[in-house]
Structure 1
Amino acid sequence: MATYLLRDGSKVTADIILPQMDVFVYETDGGKTVQVVLSVEAEQFLLNSLSSKVVPLRRRMETAYKKCSA
């Protein structure tokens, strides 16, 4: 399972692979690998791939995406 850092600062753990050009990978002091989502498209793909347990997060990110698109 990978840990993703979203553009709003939230972290999500998912068993999804995003294209390497859409993420920046770093390692924490504790040795844990975190992938920072860089593009809106990659973030939307990730959120749409998650289970319904993350619906509030998905709604928040969709709202942020709409503000960026306006």
Structure 2
Amino acid sequence: MTVNRSSVLSVDYFESYFRLVMTSRNFVLEEAKEYMISNFIQGDVMLYGEDSYHSFTDAYLRLKKIF
């Protein structure tokens, strides 16, 4: 997936991405989080900036209430 590094990725973007990873790989939320950190964020949580990282964590916390 190509992402423009100058844009801020939204909470909704990350929530959708979490759901996609969970569905396609049959992962639980925590497994999806680890997968996204290692593959999408490439181990650098600030790769897409602080605001995008906050969106990532907010999406994770939102989904944690559901799953």
TM-score, scaled to structure 1: 0.37
Rg larger for: 1
Q: Hey, which of these two has a bigger chunk of strand by percent? A: 1
Give the TM-score of the pair, scaled to structure 2. 0.38
User: Which structure ranks higher in relative contact order (CA pairs < 8 Å, sequence separation ≥ 6)?
Assistant: 2
